[in-house]
């Protein structure tokens, strides 16, 4: 395969120049982060790659405010390490692995095992900077934890798969790591799915609760429809409990009443995330009238990721 020419902007201003040039030359740019997941199963007929690799690094971290800003090319691993040192974390830890970038996580709105309890990209991204398809540098939202100033460009761009703009910089809300943080492998009797799901929705709601097969691979199909006909798949769960001593002790007791539990190393989550990595398949993107208009307003020439979401040019 022939390697595509590649742009590596170091700043949003450089990226904006590249996008404007591509637009006037009629080129299509394929946006890439670490190149680990950004595929929606449709092919992009691109001339050039536009990479966030040089837009990397933590630019501001205020542990006392539980907020952090980073270049889009910053890896999940780097964020995790920097925040861990302060007893905090960015719970966006997506399905897949830690080589992926925060920019791609937000661009694809990829969630992970902690999404239900601790928030998804749409809940945890406070603001972002992006270069849209017309070369505008858009500084959406802000760095503080509550903000309703102006129309919500942050939500529009989050999860847009780079079809509205190249995310260059993000501002995130962090969480404190719980004082006690335990992971357990729980085996419940077959057919007890409802019991553990009730536990997960109750007062002891764990940080994460994932149904797995014996080798930790997904026990259910990726689109959420479990193999209901095969009750074997209901039995094995990885559960993460967090809170103060007394809370976790009570939660552990409640879990023990549901099934057999044995401790797991915290690293089990890396493995669960890896084995649950999204597979490349064609997204059935909702191209309704509003969505087409949104694309047209932010990237009228379809310079960015043309065809990725199966849109008709």
Partner 1 sequence: MTSLAAELGRIVGDAHVIARATQLLVYRSDALPGLQRAPALAVFPGTRDELIAVVRALAAADAPFVARGAGTGLSGGALADEITLLGLHRLKRIIAFDPIGRTATVEPGVVNATLTRAAAPHGLHYAPDPSSQTACTIGGNIAENAGGPHCLKYGVTLDHALCATVVLPSGEVVTLDRGDVDRDDGTGAGYDLLGAFIGSEGCFGVVVDVTVRLTPDPERVITLLADFMRVRDAADATSRIIAAGILPAALELMDQPTIEAVESSVYAAGYPRDAAAVLLIEVDGAAAGLEDDARAVERLCREAGARGVRVAHDAAERARLWQGRKKAFGAMGRVAPHLVVQDAVVPRSRLAELLDEIAAIGERHGVRICNVFHAGDGNLHPNIPYDAHDATESARVHAAMQEIMTLCIAAGGTITGEHGVGLDKLPYMEQLFTPDTLDAMCSLRAVFDPDRRANPGKVVPVRACREWHGAVAARPTAHVAVAR
Query: What backbone phi and psi angles, to 5 degrees, belong to 30?
Result: -100, 120
Q: For residues 120 and 193, which CB has a smaller minimum distance to partner 1 in the complex? A: 120
**Beta carbon of residue 225, minimum distance to partner 1 (angstroms, whole number):** 10
In angstroms, give the least distance from the CB of 3 to partner 1.
27
Judged by CB, which is closer to partner 1: 156, or 213?
A: 156
CB of 81 to partner 1, least distance (A): 19
DSSP assignment letter at 22: H
Give, in order, the Cα–Cα distances in Å from 86 to each of 98, 109, 155, 181, 182: 19, 26, 28, 15, 19
**Residue 224 phi, psi (nearest 5):** 90, -15
For residue 54, give both structure tokens.
């040089």
Residue 111 CB, shortest distance to partner 1, in Å, is 5
Q: Which is nearer to partner 1, 3 or 221 (CB)?
A: 221
Residue 116 or 187 having the CB closest to partner 1: 116
Our CB check for partner 1 shows the closer of 3 and 243 to be 243
3-class DSSP state for residue 175? strand
Task: For the CB of residue 150, give the shortest distance to partner 1 in the complex, in Å.
Answer: 5
Q: Which two tokens stand for residue 265?
A: 């190393």
DSSP string, 246-283: HHHHHHHHHHHTTSEEEEE-TTHHHHHHHHTPPPP---
């Amino acid at each position: 395969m022939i390697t595509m020419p590649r742009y590596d902007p170091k700043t949003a201003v450089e990226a904006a120049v590249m996008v404007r040039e591509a637009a006037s030359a009629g080129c299509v740019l394929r946006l890439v982060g670490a190149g680990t997941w950004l595929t929606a199963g449709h092919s992009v007929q691109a001339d050039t790659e536009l990479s966030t690799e040089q837009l990397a690094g933590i630019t501001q971290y205020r542990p006392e405010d539980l907020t952090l800003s980073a270049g889009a090319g910053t890896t999940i691993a780097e964020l995790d390490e920097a925040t861990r040192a302060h007893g905090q974390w960015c719970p966006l830890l997506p399905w897949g692995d830690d080589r992926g970038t925060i920019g791609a996580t937000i661009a694809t709105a990829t969630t992970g095992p902690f999404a239900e309890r601790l928030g998804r990209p749409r809940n945890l991204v406070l603001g972002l900077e992006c270069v849209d398809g017309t070369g505008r540098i858009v500084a959406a939202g802000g760095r503080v934890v509550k903000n309703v100033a102006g129309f919500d460009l942050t939500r529009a761009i989050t999860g847009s798969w780079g079809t509205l703009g190249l995310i260059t910089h993000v501002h995130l809300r962090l969480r404190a790591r719980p004082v006690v943080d335990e992971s357990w492998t729980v085996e419940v009797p077959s057919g007890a799915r409802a019991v553990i799901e009730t536990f997960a929705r109750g007062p002891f709601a764990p940080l994460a609760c994932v149904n797995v097969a014996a080798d930790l691979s997904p026990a259910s199909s990726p689109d959420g429809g479990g193999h209901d006909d095969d009750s074997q798949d209901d039995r094995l769960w990885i559960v993460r409990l967090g809170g103060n001593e007394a809370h976790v002790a009570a939660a552990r007791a409640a879990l023990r009443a549901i099934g057999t539990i044995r401790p797991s190393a915290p690293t089990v989550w890396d493995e669960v995330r890896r084995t649950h990595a999204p597979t490349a398949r064609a997204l059935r993107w909702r191209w309704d009238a509003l969505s087409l208009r949104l694309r047209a307003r932010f990237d009228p020439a379809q310079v960015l990721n043309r065809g990725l979401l199966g849109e008709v040019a």
